[in-house]
Amino acid sequence: MVIDTFLESYDFSGKTLVPFCTSASDSIDNSLHIFSELAPGATVAEGLTANDEEEIVPWLNSLGYGADSSGNTAEETGSTENGTSGSNILIAYFTAAENSGVDAVASASYSEVNGEAKGRMQALAEMIQERTGGDLFSIRTDVVYPADGGELIDYAADEQAEDARPGLTSHIENLDSYDTIFIGYPNWWGDMPQALYSFFDEYDFSGKTIIPFNSHNGSRFSNTIQTIQELEPDANVIEDGFTINERDVPDAAGDIDAWLGELGY
């Protein structure tokens, strides 16, 4: 049998096996002994025989995995308080498209990815999530950024000249749960958006790994990685971040996979 061969091929000592199956008649309880016999060093959890999707969430909750049937991601709830994925990776990003008060398609900061209009940094963050399984976190501000491209550029320049600190309306409630933080942002006038300065002011990432990613119109990261190192001196800031011209964002998935592979993901 395929499962027997699989269990015999690997050493699961010290690991937890969580069996599940579908069946029109027999319960999985009748086959749990196979797992115990073929993987004697593993812990075999209570299995599930499921014929209905609604049975899965209560079962996961009973095992302590804290499944969230709502399917909400961090940027939808405005925080990572639920921590539903159990991941130690957070993917935080800022995009003007989600802070402009209009639909993404009306924002100068959007790209069309797989037929869906979304903020460029959101698109990149979701590609990273696809590979790493991390939690998404959208950096939201009390500032409503212009949707028009020209107006946004001017507004960003004014914010930078004033060294502004926009107020944040989304907050990470469980930062201690994460040891790796991907942080994404567009390059505005050779720097991070001022919202990122507010973000780094709010959180102490000491002892954590920060992995930057960004979009640009030719300036790549400029000096922003060094800036992050200065703002978070006790964090491990990876200098080999991912940077891409904003026009190439819709087709970035392959490049992101290759980059993450080089980083060990």
Any idea what the CATH number is for the domain that residue 234 is in? 3.40.50.360
Q: Determine, yes or no, domain membership for 67.
A: no
Judge if 35 and 149 occupy the same domain.
Answer: no
pTM for the whole thing? 0.66
Lookup: tokens for 73? 């991601």
Domain end among 62, 86, 103: 62
Judge if 9 and 106 occupy the same domain.
Answer: no
Q: Residue 17's pLDDT is what?
A: 80
111, 250 Cβ separation under 8 angstroms: yes
Judge if 148 and 27 occupy the same domain.
Answer: no
Q: Determine, yes or no, domain membership for 68.
A: no
32, 44 Cβ separation under 8 angstroms: yes
CA pair distance 138, 52, nearest whole angstrom? 33
Q: Residue 16's pLDDT is what?
A: 82
pLDDT one-digit tens code per residue, 81-108: 333 445 799 999 999 888 886 544 444 4
Judge if 216 and 136 occupy the same domain.
Answer: yes
Q: Residue 73's pLDDT is what?
A: 45
Question: Which letter, b or e, does each residue of 118-144 get, where b requires 16 or more Cβ atoms within 10 Å of its Cβ?
Answer: bbbbbbbbbbbbeebebbbbbbbbebe
Judge if 204 and 160 occupy the same domain.
Answer: yes
- Distances, alpha carbon 167 to alpha carbons 64, 113, 197, 258, in Å: 36, 29, 10, 35
Q: Which amino acid is at 167?
A: G
CA pair distance 183, 176, nearest whole angstrom? 16
Judge if 138 and 189 occupy the same domain.
Answer: yes
Q: Residue 218's pLDDT is what?
A: 84
Which range marks the domain in which residue 248 is found?
A: 74-262
CA pair distance 147, 97, nearest whole angstrom? 7
Judge if 7 and 127 occupy the same domain.
Answer: no
Judge if 58 and 82 occupy the same domain.
Answer: no
181 alpha carbon, distance to own chain's centre: 9
Contacts of 64 (CB under 8 A, 6+ apart): none
Domains of the chain: total: 2
User: Which bin fits 86, alpha (ψ -120 to 50), beta or left (φ > 0)?
Assistant: left
Judge if 194 and 105 occupy the same domain.
Answer: yes
Q: Residue 117's pLDDT is what?
A: 63
Judge if 47 and 80 occupy the same domain.
Answer: no
Q: Determine, yes or no, domain membership for 85.
A: yes
Residues of the chain below pLDDT 70: 1, 14, 23-26, 52-53, 61, 63-86, 101-117
Judge if 257 and 155 occupy the same domain.
Answer: yes
Judge if 56 and 123 occupy the same domain.
Answer: no
